[in-house]
Amino acid sequence: MGILEDNRHLEEIDKRYIWHPFTQMKEWIEDTPIIITEGKECFLKDIYGRWYLDGVSSLWVNIFGHRKKEIDDAIKEQLDNIAHSTMLGLSNVPAIKLAEKLMKIVNSSFIPHPSRLSKIFYSDNGSTAVEVALKMSFQYWQHKGIEGKHAFLSLNNAYHGDTIGAVSVGGVGIFHEAFGPLLFKTFNAPSPYCYRCELGKTFPECSFACLAKMEEVLSLHAGEIAGLIIEPLIQAAGGMITSPPGYLRGVRELCTKYNILMIADEVATGFGRTGKMFACEHEEVVPDLLCLSKGITGGYMPLAVTVATDELYDAFLGEFRELKTFFHGHSYTGNPLACAAAIACLDISGKEEILDRMKNKIRILESWLSDVSELGHVGEGRNAGMMAGVELVKDKESKQAYDWSEKIGWRVAYHARENGVFIRPLGNVIVLMPPLIISEQNLNKLLQVVKNAIIAVTE
């Protein structure tokens, strides 16, 4: 077969056998799929030789660009030793070295408030990191002899993953409602969604009315709640919803006041995305459990960690007969290849001063958000560092949303794709989350293409 025939065969086989995530497959099989064959820096190349600027970091995981030599070399070197061995009854060198390096970064990041976070539990993706945190929280109270703490508190519009525990603490109806009969009990608090405040208030005149509602729930049900889970600063998959300054600190204070564990889901926000290594740093908040994944290996390998405090860890210590063991694990826990990649990523972040180099790019992004917010069908442009969302509206004055079926966000994404930029929207919210090492030139190109696409589709 020739190249064209080979490509069409790949498209045919994809449609015949693969079920894609978060994809309406009827539309997929009626369209021409984009099949990626190569990556370089911030770009992806398809089987026809077309290049696309990766505007969402291959779903928020790629920080340092594709084919980063230091990460390539680290994985190749580890392959010469061993690809995988279990951590059930064994350990491995990269997992140990990564734990030491990561804990140094965690502890230095939370100065002047020592974190107390000290123990790392490995898993393999954001959902499993969250599942680990939920199960640890639940079992912690049992080991402490405190009965009744069987539920969790989460936010409306929350997204913490797609496994059943993670969905139980989720709040995005279109993703989660179908699984309602499978889910465990949770309590909900209002989302800090200032553009569409569900309490009808305006910040800062509201005096954090959403926190007051959260406290109402806690005052009534703290005895039932094992932990509160939150994405610090920005609810990513919920629509890139940014919380107002001071909100996160208020959540921490409520958790302390009502004696419940605070779980910070930094799967999307961690490793520099918000302009600091961890989003919690912005308000000097220290959680009891910290969930990390996505950018930890720079998009190379599946890996996640749940970081716990000594106090929580100590509750699981006991004699074998006491059955205080944390009965949870994964086949690929602490995978040596993934840990080697993560070590390389942490080294790159420090050596290349990624956080310092981001500052001007964040200014460019924020200036652009201010500019596009003036467009007739942009309700709000918002960001936390290099995580940005542009909410499109049918009517700017009334904030009337486009109907989901109009696929307005997807139409913008398709337009951008035709002009060499790959993005993936969340309904009517255009998501921008490029690799952190994107050049200012390529960032400006990305922003211009997206602005043009918004104008073309909405005006």
Do residue 278 and residue 374 come from a single domain?
no
**Phi first, then psi: what are they for 72, rounded to 5°?**
-55, -50
What are residue 225's DSSP bridge partners?
151
Which CATH number do you get for residue 181?
3.40.640.10
What percent of the chain lies above the pLDDT cut of 90? Answer: 95
Section 362-377 average pLDDT? 98
> To 10 degrees, the CA torsion angle through 436, 440, 441, 444?
90
Looking at residue 342, its amino acid is A
Cα gap 63→53, rounded to integer Å:
14
Specify if 4 maps to a domain: no
Across the chain, which distance is largest between two alpha carbons, in Å? Answer: 69
Question: What is the pLDDT confidence band of residue 113, given thresholds at 50, 70 and 90?
Answer: low
pLDDT of residue 111 exceeding 80, the answer is no
Range of the domain at 138: 76-351
Do residue 307 and residue 388 come from a single domain?
no
Cα gap 436→364, rounded to integer Å:
13
Do residue 386 and residue 311 come from a single domain?
no
Specify if 380 maps to a domain: yes
What percent of the chain lies above the pLDDT cut of 70? Answer: 99
Please report, for residues 11, 14, 436, the alpha-carbon distance to residue 17 in angstroms, rounded to integers and kept in the order given: 10, 6, 34
**Phi first, then psi: what are they for 401, rounded to 5°?**
-85, 155
CA 365 to chain centre: 19
Tell which of 351, 378, 395 closes a domain.
351
Q: What is the number of domains present in the chain?
A: 2
- DSSP letters, 10-53, are HHHHHHHH---TT--HHHHHHS----EEEEEBTEEEETTS-EEE
Specify if 29 maps to a domain: no
Tell which of 306, 325, 351 closes a domain.
351
Query: Which H helix or E strand runs over 457?
Result: helix 440-458
On the question of a cis peptide bond just before residue 112, with omega within 30 degrees of 0, the verdict is yes
Tens of pLDDT, residue by residue over 136-174, are 999 999 999 999 999 999 999 999 999 999 999 999 988
> What is the residue-averaged pLDDT of the chain?
96
Section 232-250 average pLDDT? 97
Do residue 218 and residue 362 come from a single domain?
no
Specify if 387 maps to a domain: yes
Rounded to a whole number of angstroms, the distance between the first and last alpha carbons of the chain is 45
Tell which of 333, 351, 369 closes a domain.
351
DSSP 301: S
For residue 225, give the nearest of 265, 185, 176, 190 by alpha carbon: 185
Which CATH number do you get for residue 407?
3.90.1150.10
Section 332-348 average pLDDT? 97
Question: What is the pLDDT confidence band of residue 1, given thresholds at 50, 70 and 90?
Answer: low
Structure tokens at 390: 């542009």
Cα angle for residues 344, 339, 385 (degrees, 5° grid) = 60
Please report, for residues 132, 236, 289, 308, the alpha-carbon distance to residue 316 in angstroms, rounded to integers and kept in the order given: 14, 32, 15, 12
Structure tokens at 348: 């790159």
pLDDT of residue 319 exceeding 80, the answer is yes
Per-residue b or e along 329-344, where b marks 16 or more CB atoms closer than 10 Å to that residue's CB: ebebbbbbbbbbbbbb
Cα gap 347→341, rounded to integer Å:
10
Sheet with 289-292, strands from edge to edge, namely: 117-123, 304-309, 289-292, 261-265, 225-230, 151-155, 186-189
pLDDT of residue 22 exceeding 90, the answer is yes
Structure tokens at 199: 């309490």
Check residue 279 and give its pLDDT: 97
Burial of 9 (C-beta count, 10 Å sphere; 0-12/13-18/19+): exposed
Cα gap 28→158, rounded to integer Å:
27
Do residue 245 and residue 393 come from a single domain?
no
> To 10 degrees, the CA torsion angle through 350, 355, 357, 360?
180
Looking at residue 331, its amino acid is S
For residue 339, give the nearest of 165, 123, 161, 176 by alpha carbon: 123
Looking at residue 62, its amino acid is N
Do residue 260 and residue 378 come from a single domain?
no
Give the other-Cβ count within 10 Å of 376's Cβ.
Answer: 11
Cα gap 44→66, rounded to integer Å:
8
Give yes or no for a contact between 459 and 377, defined as CB atoms under 8 angstroms apart: yes
Specify if 330 maps to a domain: yes
Give the other-Cβ count within 10 Å of 140's Cβ.
Answer: 25
Do residue 133 and residue 181 come from a single domain?
yes
Give yes or no for a contact between 74 and 447, defined as CB atoms under 8 angstroms apart: no
Specify if 25 maps to a domain: no
